[in-house]
Structure formats: structure tokens, C-alpha cells
Amino acid sequence: MGVTRRILTVLAVVLAGFAAAETSDAPRVPTSAAEISLSFAPLVKEAAPAVVNIYARRVVQARRSPFEGDPFFGGLFRDFGTTRPRVQNSLGSGVIVSSDGYVVSNYHVVGQADDIRVVLNDRREYQARVLIGDEDSDLAILKVDAEDMPFLEFRDSDTVEVGELVLAIGNPFGVGQTVSSGIVSGLARSGAATGSARGYFIQTDAPINPGNSGGALIDIAGRMIGINTSILTRSGGSNGIGFAIPAALVAQFLEQARDGKTVFERPWAGATGQPVDADLSDGLGLSRPEGVILTALHPASPLSAAGMTVGDVVVEVAGQPVNTPAEMVFRMSVRGLGKTVDMGYLHEGALKRATVALIAPPDDPPRDARVLGEREVLTGLEVARINPAVSADLNLPLTAEGVVVVDPGPLGRRVGLQTGDILRGIGRIAITHPDDIGPALRRAAPSIAIQAERRGQRLILRFRA
């Protein structure tokens, strides 16, 4: 009998709940941040139309060798065999950032694609073209020919705080647009902490799966604070920490794309540095580890022109603290070329300030690029004299000098040359200028030995012409 009474009591409570639901107010749009935090539905409805799915297609020439898979001959004859076109497809996300059809995504999604399709949430579809693609920043700006497009507004990413609620919107695994929520779990993430050698990121615990790349990370006001780019995980799934490229850098990319630039131009510091750790801090007499110590300065460096010297510690750029070289590059990049930026630095323990001009890497001395012609030994080999602009293009050391391989060409690649190799000599002839290459190869033929430097290591490449 007691059981029956308990069942009747539960039924009465449930029925009372249904009756209360029928008499309650109809669902309404939240009117405050506190109410929005209880339901993300109105926010998603507002922001989702500006997040798009991107389908990219690239045709590559793949060489198929009859010795493929053979443990010995496979490596020996890797360049032997016929070439066939092969299609590579990639799937990702993007964000419309202006009503006239500018779209931002990741470089690794669209950077080398031959055919790009942008599909909106309402299933409209457009062809897109890449205006600017930058592998180092993993950002690309696309353009579709359309007007009155839904778009997301930028929020100043410097105002973002750890603990803020955020949403990640994208197209994971190709299943269609999805939304995941989380918080900002870290700021100023760069270098090894992100699993990437370069870059500066916002960290979030919002799940980011394959296909989310290029999607939006938004705040509870629907403003974009970053572009989702990667996740650091041990399992390969979404149970890790995600990283987003700050909106401030995206805004600079968009500005350059509108100005007609086809390559992202970032300011040149003309310096190398390293984070100040506890050991360095003690040696420098600092009260705590902070900043980036300058380990080398190019003679044309704008930091040197502003009065800084090797051993100074940069602690602040544009009013923001910096603790890694990536942070310095980021702060300079979002400011933009042609402007100036205020830097705070420690010189012999004293805090000083300097106004630094943000310039492009100088193309001086002239690069004097040369491409070997059809009758030369290594037809198609492109070389140039190293200067700051060439060093920046090829990620060479700040102190690099001499003649560098810009493109090895088909024959140079076959003998082992790579882009970025610094040529020191051919046979017994020292190489000091691009004009030396052709005559030196002819004199050394038919048995040729090239002395080169690759990532600080000396090597000799021998072949017969």
C-alpha cells in the first residue's frame, strides 16, 4: 500500500510540473549577459550564419615508381617512374568578416588549393579565391563575389580575459555546422606550449575537432575573438586544449587584403632573442624572470636605430608585456607596417623606453637573383644574394651571408639541393655572388662537388654532369 501511495505522489508532482509549464511565459530572447549564460541559443542563431563550411581541392602530380615499397630499390629509384595527377581534398571552416564577401580561414585549409567552395549555413554556395595566404601565421583571406553577407564583428583580443565563456563554431568531421562551449583557459600562448614553433594564440577548452579549423571563437556578445586553428591532444580527439589566432592579427590581415596586398607583410625587427628564465634573471640581476633578451642585432635593425643593444631585455611592446619572441612579433604585426610602436626595455637594470619604426626587411644589398638557363649544368636553379628581405622570405638566420638557393629546380632537387641551402663553394671556387654559379659549374664538370650549408650543418653534394 505504501508503494502505491508513493507512485501516486510522484505522478501528482509530474502532472503539476506539466501544468506549470503550460501556464509559464513563452520562450524569449535573453536580455542580459546573465540570461544569455543560461542559454546560448539566441547567440548561436545570431552568429552561426557568418560561419561557413569550406571545401578545398588541390591537384598534385604524384610519381608512382615500379619499385614503390621495396626496402632497398624504393629509396634508390624514388624519382623513377611515371607521374599521375592526384586530387587532395580538405575540409574546414571559415568566417565571413565583412558584408562584401571577405572570408578568413586557416592557411592549412585553403593555402594551396586549386578550387575552393564556400557553403553558408543556409546552403548558399560560392566559389572563392585566396587573396592572402601566410603559412607562418596559418591564416588566409578569401574573397567571394557577393554582397549583403552576414558577418561577425571583431573584438579587441587584448581585452579578452581568462575565464570568459566562449563558443567554437565550425564544421567538424564534415557532419555540418556544430557549436561547442568552453572558457578562455589561457592567453599569450606561443612556441612549444602550443605544439607549434611559431605563432601567438588564445587557449580554450572548448572542444575543437578536425574540420573546426578556420571556424570562429566568439564571446557571449557574439563578437569574434579568434580563429580556431589547432588542438594539442595526446589521443587525437577533442579532449585536449585548443588554440585560436587572436582577432587583432586577423584584422591586420583583412586590412592588407583590402589594400590589395597578395603577401602578408609583417614588420622586421632585425633581432634575435630568447625568453628570460630564472637562471638568466639571476645573472642579469632582475627581481623576477620577464621579457626577451636580445641576443643579436642586425646593423639595419630598427631596434638598434632606436638605441637598443645586445643584452637589453624587451619587457613591453605597445603597452603589453612580452615574454617570448613570438609575442614580440605578434605585437609588431598587429600594429602594421609604416607605423611606430613604443617599447619598454631594461638596459643595465634600468627601465628605458624607445619608439621603434615598423619597417619591412630591407632588400639591400640587391639580391641579384639568377636562374640558370637551359644550357647550364643545373638548368632551372634559382639563386640570390642574401639580404634581410631574402632571409625573412626563407627563414634564414639573422647573420646569414652569401648566396642562397631560392629554388633548386628539377635537376638541382635531384642532386640533393634544397630551398634555403647556402652555397659556399663549387669545386675549388668560392661562391660569393650569384654570377659565380654558372661559370663554377662549367669549370668543375663533369665531376662536380658542391659545398653548402643547411640549417647550420656543412655538407658536400657530389654528382656527374
Catalytic residues: 108, 138, 213
Q: Which three cell numbers stand for residue 277?
A: 628564465
- DSSP string spanning 64-86? E-TTTT-TTHHHHTTT-SEEEEE
Integer Cα distance of 324 and 274 in angstroms: 7
CA dihedral of residues 242, 112, 59, 412 (deg, nearest 10): -120
Q: Give the containing element (helix H, strand E) for 129.
A: strand 125-134
Q: Which three cell numbers stand for residue 122?
A: 543556409
271-275/224-232 β-pairing: unpaired
Task: Note the maximum CA span of the chain.
Answer: 109
Number of H helices and E strands in the chain, helices first, is 12, 25
Say if CB 303 and CB 294 are below 8 A apart: yes
Say if CB 405 and CB 412 are below 8 A apart: yes
Residues in contact with 174: Cβ distance below 8 Å, sequence separation at least 6, in sequence order: 91, 211
